[in-house]
A and B are shown apart, each in its own frame.
Chain A
Amino acid sequence: MDLFGAHNDPRRSRLLEHSRFRDLGSSRGIESAISWSRREFLRAATGATAATVLSAFSPLRAMAMRKGQKAVVVTFGGGTRDEETFMPDGQENIPHLLREFVPQGTFFTQVVNRGILGHYVATASLVTGVYETFNNFAAVSPENPTVFEYFRKELHRPATDTWVVAPSNGFGLIGESGHSSYGAGQGAGVILPKRLLAAAIPTRDSSGFEHLLRDNYESPVYAPAMGVSDAQLQQMAQMLKVSVTDFAAHARSLRSPDELSVYVARQLMRQLAPSLLWITLHDIDVAHAGTYSLYVDAIQRSDRLCAEIWQMIQTEPEYAGKTTMFILPDFGRDSDTSVGGNGFQHHRTGDAYSRTTWMMVRGAGVRENVLVDRPVESTDLVPTLGSLFGFSPDLSHGKVLPEVV
């Protein structure tokens, strides 16, 4: 059987046009070519400057460092390809990232995830700075300390100062690790909006909420949410200053689980103003259903929600002018021509396209209109946050990104 190898790959041909002198015979070569072509398109579209011509250590950050530093991390999940974002045909899907974020931020064009490409375990790797290896579908905590635990322990921050808003019930244990030096009670609170919603509405009245309660796109059936008592629900509602009735009523007006997550994040920012807030978007993973249109819709929605989160940061006094926002996908999806895959639908092959993504950084002290071409890893986020806040994530395997701090 002709395996539709490299010589027949139309995407590869397109990359070759833009990457004549690059080594496309290796996985690293492909990653580099992906980055190169994306950079060229972006440069043409935005006129951005290559960071490599600047000093790696900018005085801007030191000058901009201030008391009250905050960070909002948004994972542009779950699983987004170049084809539908930064490649020419995809740029129409991300107008906010292209027109607002790239010109006003620092853009890392080549963020490689060398870990397991399952959403929970990959996000756990992002929050620990170590490629976690547990079963993606298991209800376990990350093995290594999370950024939230480093943050709280070293900076003596209270539990209310860091939160995770996560899309799926499977993310419930992502706030703190099983590490013996950290662990229970030392990490971030995790809010699972779907679990709140499921608890807020009687089972017999779930009609009209199905689109928000779908928990896992790898499984086509909604599994009932477990584990939230009435007392916990009331406590959470009190904390967010929203009644259970209002919460359910508002949810009914929303189109997607990610919109529910952003709604909850807004309440968190207003009521508790956490210094380190992690929002995990996940609508894009609807691609597993094989419906390209819904996948593209979700990318467009995520792009819009990122802009809304940025606006929230600008309009909340606790955040305006002192917040750094990070946006990055957890990983990509399979290329159209990967033999073992089915294109955008899944992320099962581990090919270079599914491992190569990007990161956008915007906010106080961050250089504007800058592209960083060199390859970095998704595990570099945690040390970078450590450097930003002033804590040392000693067990992380990543490296600080000097272009940000």
Chain B
Amino acid sequence: MAARPIQVEQFQSYPPQAKQLAISNILLLQQLPLSFLPLLLREVIVYDWKFPAERDEIDRQFRYLGSLTPDQLSSAMRAFASLKLSPELEAMDWIGAPFRFSERLSAYLWATHQIDDFGKVAEDYIKAFNNAVPGAPASAPRMGIAVIGQEITPTGYPLFRKLRPHGTYFSHVDPRSSYKLLLDTVAARTRAHPAPFAHWCIDGGPAATVQNNQVTSVAYGSLQPVRKALIRKMQQVSASQAGVEALRTRLAETNPAEVGLNHPTDDPVLSRFAISILTEGSGTQIYSTTFVQWSVREALRRAQPLTLLARFAPRQTEESADEELSGIQQPTILDPAGSLLDADMGAYYTWINLQRLSGAAQSCFIAWFEGHGEAVAIAPSCRPGTEFHDQINLAEILSRIQSTG
């Protein structure tokens, strides 16, 4: 592969640690094909605001690529290099704006029927580098908990249908079982396995419910001013007739200070995470159930925590959401029945995303309908597809899943 004429000066706009990382690997970057390099730079440019697990993954990629001989590197990149790009893509500022480039690249690959090839090539690359430079195993079995808040009313909808085949379904959980028990469980795990961004609480309710500073906490309610600011920005971009793609790009480029997330006590990594949830997620700005589901997905994917507690609260109705988006001030009307389906699916997706992390076979998971008697537990100690119809409380279920977990 011919070397690309990449200069140190081209990384001047990068944040400090990202710049350092790019410059220290510039000889390697010069060897990478254009269908790959900007996608790596898209991760590098936000290195300063990445979680430890993400930084580790980027570092491992550089170690992997840097360990290859020229022939091996050429071979590893051959499939990427064989993808055909347009002169317009090549002419873009893919160092300064790799996010924009990747959006255009995606559209181009779809239009030229290369998207399937790209997907396969990317998957093969990820497998190869993970095999060559594997990540460290989880320091403890992971635990995921999805709670359907008690404000969500039962409707007769059969809960946990998709989860039941994988674990034990409990039909008579003591309704006095307390959510606080789960918070205490998370707190205990922070003490047993202390690490930054390793223990999360994500809440769809009006405010964060955790005061423990070892727990990373994100709540839909406490982000209301940020949501409002973003909705105003959406309205402005939309009124300019700039189009859907421009809206997406403008949102993705939102700075924390622009939407009021620049308080000195705000953690910059967490602030960026919150912004990304509200700008890259669809529906996260207006529906609390979507906010929780997408936050869980992104927290698991990016931070790879040991513990994650998610609580779904009732979302507003579609009509209320439309009014909010239109800037019309009306009392918010909640949709508890619809929220039940959303939360049920959100619990299922929480488990799926937990399964994507290392140590999945040892992980344990609970989905619980708070105050309404139903739960499902999935863990090595729970036989798949079983049911338990005797009275049981949440503490006993927690004890069961952790007995070999």
Contacts and interface: CB of A to CB of B under 8 A. Distances in A.
Interface of A: 1-4, 8, 10, 27, 89, 114, 116-118, 131, 133-135, 137, 206-207, 210-211, 214, 216, 218-224, 226, 286, 288-294, 296-297, 336-337, 339-340, 342-346, 349-350
A290 B322 contact: no
Interface residues of B, number: 70
B287 A291 contact: yes
B289 A291 contact: yes
Given A135-B107, A210-B328, 14 more contacts: A1-B135, A2-B358, A10-B166, A89-B161, A116-B110, A135-B111, A210-B325, A220-B282, A222-B322, A223-B239, A289-B287, A291-B283, A291-B318, A292-B342
B282 A340 contact: no
Contacts of A222: 238, 322, 325-326
Interface SS, A side: loop
B110 A342 contact: no
18 contacts: A1-B304, A2-B357, A2-B358, A3-B356, A4-B355, A10-B166, A118-B110, A131-B113, A133-B111, A210-B326, A221-B234, A221-B238, A221-B325, A223-B238, A290-B290, A339-B356, A350-B110, A350-B116
Given A133-B111, A221-B325, A290 B348 contact: no
A375 to B, nearest CB: 16
Interface string B280-317: 01111111011001100100000010000000000100
Nearest to A297: B338
B403 interface: no
A10 B165 CA distance: 9
A235 B338 CA distance: 41
A288 B282 contact: yes
Contacts of A288: 282-283
Interface stretch (B35-43, B91-99, B122-130, B203-211): B122-130
Given A210-B326, A342-B349, A290 B284 contact: yes
Interface stretch (B11-19, B143-151, B240-248): B240-248
Nearest to B322: A210
A343 B345 CA distance: 10
Contacts of B111: 116, 133-135
Interface in B162-183: 162, 165-166
B322 A214 contact: yes
B127 A210 contact: no
B345 A292 contact: yes
B278 to A, nearest CB: 11
B318 A294 contact: yes
B5 interface: no
A219 B282 CA distance: 8
B287 A290 contact: yes
A343 B115 contact: no
Contacts of A118: 110
A14 to B, nearest CB: 9
B399 interface: no
Nearest to B134: A1
Contact of A3 (B127, B162, B290, B340): B127
B337 interface: yes
Contact of A290 (B234, B293, B325): B293
B167 to A, nearest CB: 12
Interface string B229-253: 0010011011101011101100000
B161 A210 contact: no
B109 to A, nearest CB: 9
B397 interface: no
B112 interface: yes
B323 A210 contact: yes
B217 interface: no
Contacts of B322: 210-211, 214, 222
B402 to A, nearest CB: 21
A207 B326 CA distance: 9
Contacts of B119: 340, 349-350
A222 B321 CA distance: 11
Contact of B234 (A1, A27, A220, A342): A220
Given A221-B238, A221-B325, A340-B119, A290 B356 contact: no
